[in-house]
Structure 1
Amino acid sequence: MTRIAFIGLGIMGSPMAVHLQNAGNQVIGYNRTRAKTGPLVEAGGTAAASVAEAVADVDVVALMVTDTPDVTEILTGEAGVFETAGPGTLVIDFSTIRPDATAELAAQARDKGLRMVDAPVSGGEAGARNAALSIMVGGTEEDFAAARPVLDVVGSTIVHVGPSGSGQTVKAANQLIVAGAIGVLAEAIVFLEAYGVDTEAAIRVLSGGLAASAIMDHKAANMLDRSFEPGFRLDLHHKDLGIVTSAAREAGVAIPLGATAAQLMAAARANGDGDLDHSALFRTIARLSGRRS
């Protein structure tokens, strides 16, 4: 049995924490909104009243929170993880944050006698619920090996991609690809609808050829049905594209298609679609052509 503090029990974190509890670990969960600890408690886990309480006397601290400032505050703030976790504790950050911030936090963790890996995930709510996430991991080989038993419980594709910050860099590339694919799929559906094509039949045949993709499999139905219940909120993808464009600029890399996707996502958010699934980018694409969204 491993004692695991899991901080951040939202759409993704809650099912991940429950899987870890069901796998025979002792999971202590913390979330700013106390009610969100309910599923973990029902599975036999424990709810903590603070970060300090959650991380006291644990082997692993897992984080799944929204943005770089949230991770930084949880780790480095007063009564945070770096202040209260015991020597040798392994920190696994499942959040999606800036690669440079991750590398800096990992260095601070080492100075505090802790270990840290960045392990951002892809697969959305369905992947979290089905324990089928793709996990890209940055850190040392030794820390990756130590984290592997935890990662194996929540993921199906788990790859060590390099030193600290590398997982976040690969996740940024993932979000770049996904945003572009969602945008192009939306354009294709608007195009098909303009010609009165049977769009369901069109998607079925396109899915059998070179245009096939996981995005088409998982997001086309949302667009066809105009159903955008959030599996991954557009607000979060907007945040992730900010990470991508900033990191690309720092590296001197041009990402013209990515920059366009980022602007479209920003427009969708400005028009009030931030709380919808990121496939709701379709609504912005459709509006550009004066079509029903």
Structure 2
Amino acid sequence: MNIGFIGLGVMGAPMAGHLLDAGHAVHTSVNRTPAPADLLAKGLQVHASPREVGAHCEAVITMLPNTPDVERVLFEQGLADALTAGSLYIDMSSIDPVATKKFARKLREKDVLYLDAPFSGGQVGAKNATLSIMGGGPFEAFERAMPLLQIMGRNISHIGEESGSGQTCKIANQIVVALRIEAVGEALVFARQSGCDPAKVREALMGGFAASRILEVHGERMIDRTFEPGFRISLHAKDLDLALKAGGENGVPLPGTALCRQLLASAKANSDWEKDYPAIVKSLERLAGAGPALRQGA
């Protein structure tokens, strides 16, 4: 197939690479940053605009940072105008479910199949093609998209026929991830301030009911102070803002989510905004009056 892929960032680039490796022709548009050299070597085709991408492709995927970015690509930069009846549009960004419904309505008027398909798994999942993908929209769109989604992910679910269902599921995911990372950071800071070696505490917890992928991966990153971004704090803050907005609209209190969002605000105030989410531990350390590192002797 000729597939458009707009948004070749930290996660979008390896995802597009998997599509190229599978034999598809992948098209993208000129951006502020040059297209990755490894994708160009595999045959990535670069066009002047999203409109041109849409004119060349039967299916287009977007993987963009926020709701206004998706709206701009679709309706200001001409992608929606270029998509023809029967074509497939897959938005793998994490954006506002209400806006997603509005975008889907507009594309349905052109008989374009619209699937919102955000995912979980981060940079590692994108590189290893092991993403958990959450599809929302007509089952026909989900079925059409499945061969492409299976190239990029492993656990692929159709959440509901209503557009925005996938985005709602992704928000729920981000709530769980945020609270777990905060809990891991809080536990490790508590251990250190109580006189224990956080690394040994983490190792012990990995053998019990507290064990989790987040304790395993992000707990280690907190201890080792490796905060290079795979998924930036600024992006998780955006997702928690979406959660709090949707919670307010639906009358659902989200006290834990609100606490995590405040800790992210603290991270922004202390120049950690573009670090990876485990850097939230630095905000907890500041609140506890702890030293600069969890690792003993650091």
Q: TM-score range by the shorter chain?
A: over 0.9
The structural deviation recorded for 1:32 is: 1.6
- Name the CA distance, whole Å, in 1 between partners of 2:54 and 2:99: 22
Gapped regions of structure 2 (runs ≥ 5): 293-298
1:44/1:284 Cα in 2 relative to 1: closer, same or farther (>3 Å)? same
Contact 1:66 1:236 in 2 (8 A): yes
- Matched residues in 2 for 1:48 and 1:214: separation? 39
Which residue of structure 1 aligns with residue 215 of structure 2?
216
Q: Which residue of 1 aligns with 2:87?
A: 89
Mapping for residues 57-206 of structure 1, pairs under 5 Å = 57-77=56-76, 79-162=77-160, 163-206=162-205
Secondary structure of the 1:36 match is coil
Contact 1:9–1:31 (Cα < 8 Å) also in 2: no
Note the 1:4-15 alignment, pairs <5 A.
4-15=3-14
1:48 CA drift (Å): 1.9
Q: 1:159 to 1:100 in 2, by over 3 A?
A: same
Kindly indicate whether the alpha-carbon contact (under 8 Å) linking 1:172 and 1:241 is maintained by their aligned counterparts in 2.
yes
**TM-score, length-normalised on structure 1?**
0.96
Query: Counterparts of 1:255 and 1:239 in 2: how far apart (Å)?
Result: 15
CA distance in 2: counterparts of 1:80 and 1:53, whole angstroms:
8
Q: Is the 8 A contact 1:64 1:93 kept in 2?
A: yes
Is 22-31 or 165-174 further displaced after alignment? 22-31
Q: 2:25: which partner in 1? A: 26
Q: Counterparts of 1:37 and 1:81 in 2: how far apart (Å)?
A: 22
Measured in 2, the distance between the counterparts of 1:265 and 1:273 equals 9
CA contact (8 A) 1:57 1:85 kept: no
Written as runs of structure 1 = structure 2, the 5 A alignment for 1:232-243 is 232-243=231-242
SS of 1:157's equivalent? strand
Counterpart check, 1:261 vs 2:260 = yes
The answer to whether the 8 A contact 1:16-1:154 is kept is yes
Report how far residue 282 of structure 1 moved.
0.6
TM normalised by structure 2 equals 0.95
CA distance in 1, matches of 2:289, 2:106: 51
Aligned partners of 1:63 and 1:92 also within 8 Å: yes
Aligned-pair CA distance for 1:31: 4.9
Deviation of the 1:292 alpha carbon: 2.2
The one-letter amino acid of 1:136's match is M
Gaps of 5+ in 1: none
Partner deviation per Cα, 1:67-100 (whole Å, 9 max, x = no partner): 00000111111x4211112222100000000000
CA RMSD across the alignment = 1.1
Give the whole-Å Cα distance in 2 for the aligned partners of 1:230 and 1:106: 31
Q: What's the offset of the Cα at 1:256?
A: 0.8
**Residues 179 and 256 in structure 2, CA contact (< 8 A), matched pair in contact too:** yes
Runs (4+) off by over 6 Å: none
Paired amino acid for 1:145: E
Listed one character per residue, the Cα deviations across residues 155-180 of structure 1 (whole Å, up to 9, x for unaligned) are: 01100001210000010011111111
In structure 2, the residue corresponding to 1:29 is in which secondary structure? Answer: strand
**Alignment check: 8 A CA contact 1:29 1:40 kept:** no
SS of equivalent to 2:156: strand
- Judge conservation of contact 1:207–1:217 (CA < 8 Å) in 2: yes
Deviations 1:197-255 (A, max 9, x none): 23222111201211011211220111001110111000000111000000000000011
Identity of aligned residues (%): 43
Are the counterparts in 2 of residues 58 and 86 from structure 1 also a CA contact under 8 Å? no
Secondary structure of the 2:208 match is coil
SS in 2 for 1:186: helix
Question: SS of the residue aligned with 1:273?
Answer: coil
Give me the whole-angstrom Cα distance separating, in 1, the residues matched to 2:253 and 2:38. 44
User: How far did residue 34 of structure 1 move?
Assistant: 4.0
Call closer, same or farther: CA 1:41–1:137 in 2, change over 3 Å.
Answer: same
